[in-house]
Chains A and B, each alone.
Chain A
């Protein structure tokens, strides 16, 4: 019984949220949810669609043609050229796209390499597909970078894909173009797929200390003809990798639309054709009302994304300055993207034996913080073995919440 699901875990983030719910005054910096509401222009687009009565029926399985057309145009602005008719699939959030992709490209028993620490649900989806996740640690000393020789060493005849998140959750770091090209060489050499989850690509903190090879300045032909700050490099830009790269994006983070469950993936026609079969089995199509919301997002919400990015940068700076006050407790790599920071816990001389949870320092430390200061964070081990000794702090929450949470931690540690 339950052979397929017996090794799956309920997300650690959900477990922490459940425990946090027992503390009425808790401040949660655990969930990766933006504090913002969906922009008004998107809501107006949806209201119009509702009034016109066009949202009640299924769309085509890969999504509404007009949305896919818009996505193709948007991708072309980012130097990625994919055919909206055959190579772009609108999904019910990126996790559905990931699931459909893994079910389509792997066979049971295959191995999928994931750099870690990384997003917790990857492991579960890989297991659900009957495959084995193979964790390869990132190097914290080098700003959570890939070490290519470790990837090469992890590749076996059963390896089917390398699956990474860029910018990375939970570290908020960006893989350099050089590192990604190295990964591409490995994929070519060993005939592997590359799955690139780029849901945080719109949040880039244009710091002087970000290497220019990691991000590229681009002039977008947008309605205001303004210069967008930067964009990350994606392997999906390289035509020679079209038959290897499956790139995923979600509207959840960039447009504060986590509840709408809409995203997309794109890849070569030969792969997209197979993924659509699974996507059709899983959800038939992404929710049509959310597809209208996605159109509104792409057509009108560019300035909202810029605003969110500015706010997250401010919050990142705030969190870093607050962590600096606790430098005897935490060390950290400064995030350059997303809305997470992944500090290492330096203080180990805390009595944590009484906590009823998996045998892990980061788990116990997270529960300690929750109990002593009513601040919820995610234990680093949730993101892979290499995340142990760390916690993930989300700065998707408001500045006020961040300050209140850190005031409580100051009381506990100072």
Chain B
């Protein structure tokens, strides 16, 4: 795609998306971090569906400057084809007039270079922000860890003060971001105290999946999942926090 067309497309989608969000005012939940975003996103979506609410989440790779607006508007991408972008742009415009917009948006945010977060948050203003973890991943695109952390700090600071910031307590860098938040901070992890968030007390692998025991302010919860991996325990913990806040 030619750079000029890409810039045009980027801003076209951005302003249509902003207009749609002003009209429909959905609850916006964003998920950021180096890994485990998709599993957390899916868990939150499940929580809202269980509550009978209409929810829309972005497909895996629709989390950047062009992908995020497409995800919010619920339209497909034209990828590298000008011909395929024409109907996509038309669909974007039609989205302004569509009824039945979802009540909740659960959006992954992809941050792979300086300024990404600022741009994405110029489109959405999250009520709940979740940071799954921060690792060395993507660090090559930033000139040092501090620059990369600044992106996440921007998210924490720009989450609505009336909302919540949900952070992984087990990751030192993520935990430290709690001090920067204007919104209420809730933690999750294996090492967090149960009064400060959801404590994962045990993860037991069975032949058919994982059994996770959690403690949230003294209230014990046990869930089993037919999936494998510790990341499902962390996702489940975020799900408990979101559910408790509804």
Q: Which residues of A does B touch, CB under 8 Å? A: 40-41, 44, 52-54, 57, 64-66, 69-70, 72-73, 76, 81-87, 222-224, 239-240, 242, 269, 299-300
B61 proximal to A (CB < 8 A): yes
B 174-216 binary contact with A (CB < 8 Å = 1; else 0): 0000000000000000000000000000000001110000000
Is B227 a contact of A299 with CB atoms below 8 Å?
A: no
User: In the complex the two chains form, what is the Cα distance from A66 to B33 in whole Å?
Assistant: 11
Q: Which residue among A53, A223, A242 has the maximum number of chain B CB atoms within 10 Å of its CB?
A: A223
A65 and B34 in contact, given A73-B60, A239-B208, A299-B61 (Cβ under 8 angstroms) = yes
Is A41 a contact of B226 with CB atoms below 8 Å?
A: no
A85 and B77 in contact, given A54-B140, A69-B38, A240-B207 (Cβ under 8 angstroms) = no
User: In the complex the two chains form, what is the Cα distance from A84 to B38 in whole Å?
Assistant: 12
B11 proximal to A (CB < 8 A): no
Interfacial chain B residues near A269, Cβ < 8 Å: 228
B94 proximal to A (CB < 8 A): no
Chain B residue nearest to A70 (CB atoms) is B60
User: In the complex the two chains form, what is the Cα distance from A224 to B75 in whole Å?
Assistant: 9
Chain A residue nearest to B229 (CB atoms) is A83
Extra pairs beyond A82-B229, A83-B227, A223-B62 (7, CB < 8 Å):
A54-B138, A66-B35, A76-B227, A83-B228, A87-B229, A222-B59, A239-B207
Interfacial chain B residues near A240, Cβ < 8 Å: 207
Interfacial chain A residues near B79, Cβ < 8 Å: 41, 300
Is A57 a contact of B137 with CB atoms below 8 Å?
A: no
Interfacial chain B residues near A54, Cβ < 8 Å: 138, 140-141
| Cβ of A257 to closest chain B Cβ, rounded Å | 17
Q: Which residues of B does A touch, CB under 8 Å? A: 34-36, 38, 59-62, 76-77, 79-80, 112-113, 135, 137-138, 140-141, 207-209, 226-231
Is A57 a contact of B61 with CB atoms below 8 Å?
A: no
Our pick among A86, A223, A242 for the contact of B59 (Cβ within 8 Å) is A223
A86 and B140 in contact, given A223-B76, A223-B77, A240-B207 (Cβ under 8 angstroms) = no
Interfacial chain B residues near A84, Cβ < 8 Å: 229, 231
| Cβ of A68 to closest chain B Cβ, rounded Å | 9
Is B227 a contact of A81 with CB atoms below 8 Å?
A: yes
Number of cross-chain contacts by CB at 8 Å: 65
Interfacial chain A residues near B80, Cβ < 8 Å: 40-41, 44
Interfacial chain B residues near A222, Cβ < 8 Å: 59
A–B pairs, 8, beta carbons within 8 Å: A52-B113, A54-B140, A65-B34, A66-B35, A81-B226, A85-B229, A239-B207, A269-B228
Interfacial chain A residues near B230, Cβ < 8 Å: 83, 85
User: In the complex the two chains form, what is the Cα distance from A85 to B80 in whole Å?
Assistant: 32
Chain A residue nearest to B227 (CB atoms) is A81
| Cβ of B114 to closest chain A Cβ, rounded Å | 12
Interfacial chain B residues near A41, Cβ < 8 Å: 79-80
Interfacial chain A residues near B77, Cβ < 8 Å: 223
Interfacial chain A residues near B138, Cβ < 8 Å: 54
Is A81 a contact of B209 with CB atoms below 8 Å?
A: yes
Interfacial chain B residues near A86, Cβ < 8 Å: 229
User: In the complex the two chains form, what is the Cα distance from A11 to B98 in whole Å?
Assistant: 60
Interfacial chain A residues near B38, Cβ < 8 Å: 69, 73
Chain B residue nearest to A303 (CB atoms) is B79
Chain A residue nearest to B84 (CB atoms) is A303
Our pick among A52, A57, A81 for the contact of B228 (Cβ within 8 Å) is A81
| Cβ of A256 to closest chain B Cβ, rounded Å | 16
Interfacial chain B residues near A69, Cβ < 8 Å: 35-36, 38
Our pick among B137, B208, B209, B229 for the contact of A66 (Cβ within 8 Å) is B137
A52 and B141 in contact, given A40-B80, A223-B59, A299-B61 (Cβ under 8 angstroms) = yes
